[in-house]
Structure 1
Amino acid sequence: MGKEFIELFEQWAGSYDDSVNGHDPEYKEVFRNYENILQEVAARSEGNVLEFGPGTGNLTERIAGRGMKVTAVEPSPAMRELAVAKLAGRADVFDGDFFNYPAGTYDTLVSTYAFHHLTDAEKTKAIASYGNLLAPGGKIVFADTMYESAADHQKAIADALSKGYINLAEDLQREYYTTIPILKDILENNGFTAFFERCNDFVWMMTAEKK
């Protein structure tokens, strides 16, 4: 995960759960259907699960609640501390990111609201490496903000500014939001089949299976 965002993650840690629960008007649409998104990612998880960027551990908690083994890697010390406390030993949470994680063989790789902290070049590098982690039929299930086109991304920024959502507009310009065609090409070029489903006006769920 982009190390340049660590300070931002540390600032968000204390208010993150309030935001995802719809208490921040600027981010209300970003997190609309949040619980359903988590439940769906958890439902699509199978076998040994590796989670990237668990934040405060909300998805981790739901996967562990299904009786599955989940290993999570989180680069923010403050977020990681909250996740460890929330999970109370039901999952392993380590210092790590999309490139640094415990060695092993995994059946499902999951992430929510985190992949946009990588540039497209970093996304390509990460996905190329994940082919070595997964057996044929293994899956990547990521839910994240992305767009159908670059024009849609620019429209989202303009809409945020028109509503006075300055923090949201800054986030949309500062972080690395990709488009579905670019991400689909990256996945297919690295031996995955992929499909995308809209979760709200910002977030899509990407499910990719290794051929």
Structure 2
Amino acid sequence: MGREFLDLFQDWAESYDDSVTGKDVEYREVFVNYEKILERVTTLSSGTVLEFGPGTGNLTKKLLEAGLKVVPVEPSPEMRTIAKQKLGKDIPLLDGDFLDFEVDEQIDTIVSTYAFHHLTDEEKGKAFAVYGKLLSKGGKIIFADTMFESNQHHLDFINRAEEQGFHNLAEDLRREYYTTIGTLETLLSENGFSHSFKQVNSFVWIMEATKL
């Protein structure tokens, strides 16, 4: 459920905001158009928004500024601490993850950025099944994440990272559960969602799925 990466989240917490602004050359390409990605996810969202993996709270902040009600669910204590400093103590950040969470209100949109790859493909399918029950007809899942057009495409990116000397990036691409667009399309269709995918940089696509 992604919690096996809590040590990694702890390491990322202090440096994450520097990385998304391009200060870490190794991850610069991953975060190209970062602000536009957050803005697009925000624009596609409506009603009460359940956000998984808010991290340091960058998307949460934009959603709140757009006047949306947000329920942020974050497994990392270190990330929650930084997000609270950014968002203010009045914004509750719940301890949970993509599959282990509690909400007691109607959810209209489910969002996440740069986090869904912490679930295996099997867990991704289980998550879509849960969200299908949580959302009413017309409810949406809006996820921005690194994904690949094929398994070979994934391997090509690992090899390219190694050739560039970006060994941390290459290790991340090997260790975490990055998947293909075709796999996500199948899982979404099996769970009653229509779907579309839009590429926003070399690594990241925005997945928009609507409950049928």
Q: Which residue of 2 aligns with 1:62?
A: 62
Shift of 1:132: 1.2
Give, in whole Å, the separation in 2 of the partners of 1:148 and 1:89: 41
SS in 2 for 1:18: helix
Structure 1: which 5+ residue stretches go unaligned? none
For each residue in 1:88-127, what CA deviation from the matched residue of structure 2 results, as whole angstroms up to 9, or x when unmatched? 1463211110012232320000000000000000000011
Q: Equivalent residues in 2 for 1:166-177 (5 A)?
A: 166-177=167-178
Identity %: 57
SS in 2 for 1:195: strand
Shift of 1:2: 1.1
Shift of 1:3: 1.1
Q: Which residue of 1 aligns with 2:211?
A: 210
Q: Equivalent residues in 2 for 1:43-122 (5 A)?
A: 43-89=43-89, 91-103=91-103, 104-122=105-123
Which portions of structure 1, spanning 4 or more consecutive aligned residues, are displaced by more than 3 angstroms?
none
- TM superposition score normalised by structure 2: 0.98
Q: Equivalent residues in 2 for 1:176-187 (5 A)?
A: 176-187=177-188
Question: May I ask how many residue pairs the two structures share in their alignment?
Answer: 211
Give, in whole Å, the separation in 2 of the partners of 1:158 and 1:39: 31
Amino acid at match of 2:56: T
Whether 1:200 aligns to 2:201 is yes
Give, in whole Å, the separation in 2 of the partners of 1:134 and 1:153: 31
Shift of 1:133: 1.0
Give, in whole Å, the separation in 1 of the partners of 2:90 and 2:146: 28
Give, in whole Å, the separation in 2 of the partners of 1:150 and 1:189: 21
> Does the 8 A contact of 1:60 with 1:91 survive in 2?
no
Q: Which residue of 2 aligns with 1:129?
A: 130
SS in 1 for 2:96: coil
Q: Which residue of 2 aligns with 1:20?
A: 20
Q: Which residue of 2 aligns with 1:34?
A: 34
> Does the 8 A contact of 1:64 with 1:90 survive in 2?
no
> Does the 8 A contact of 1:48 with 1:69 survive in 2?
yes
SS in 2 for 1:30: helix
